[in-house]
Amino acid sequence: MAYHTEVSAWKTAASEAQAIRTAVFVQEQGVDVVLERDGRDPTCLHVLVRDGAGQALATGRLLPDDHIGRLAVLASVRGKGLGSLALTALVSAAYRRGARVVRLNAQADAEAFYRRHGFVASGAVFMEAGIAHLPMSLHLQGLDDAP
């Protein structure tokens, strides 16, 4: 199956991104909908990963301060590389606009996923929305040397 990513403003991504996030964070993980919809989306860049038929299956966002968040893949299609595609697209978008470090608060259960992408722990575990999180960061200077 071929997948493709697109990075866009909230007004373009809103309905599909929100549907994925509601399914994953609100319905699956039990996060309060008020916490999930924090009002920051219009300030962010958003990624959607689509299958060959155009259906959006994964999303995530990049905040103005180069934090990545709300990374979510529909449960039925996890483990196929879609989360990696979404994360890579957001890191690339941050790099292209000049960021040399990106940060995120990983759900503790997903720490290994982010480590696979080069993120390292940068703080102590804390609780948010009833879920343990770990601050992580990725320094991007090495991309300057990429072929």
- Name the site residues for ligand COA (rule: CB under 6 A): 24, 71-73, 78-84, 106-107, 109-110, 112-113, 116
| Residue 24 DSSP class | I
Q: How far is the CB of 144 from ligand COA (least distance, A)?
A: 25
Q: How far is the CB of 46 from ligand COA (least distance, A)?
A: 15
Which alpha helices (DSSP H) does 22-81 contain, by range? 33-36
**Is 10 in a helix, a strand, or coil?**
helix
* Dihedral pair phi/psi, residue 2, rounded to 5°: -90, 135
**Residue with smaller CB distance to ligand COA, 11 or 118:** 118
**Residue with smaller CB distance to ligand COA, 62 or 82:** 82
Spatial CB neighbours of 53, under 8 Å, sequence gap ≥ 6: none
How far is Cα 45 from Cα 36, in angstroms, rounded to an integer?
16
**Residue with smaller CB distance to ligand COA, 11 or 116:** 116
Which residue's CB comes closest to ligand COA? 83
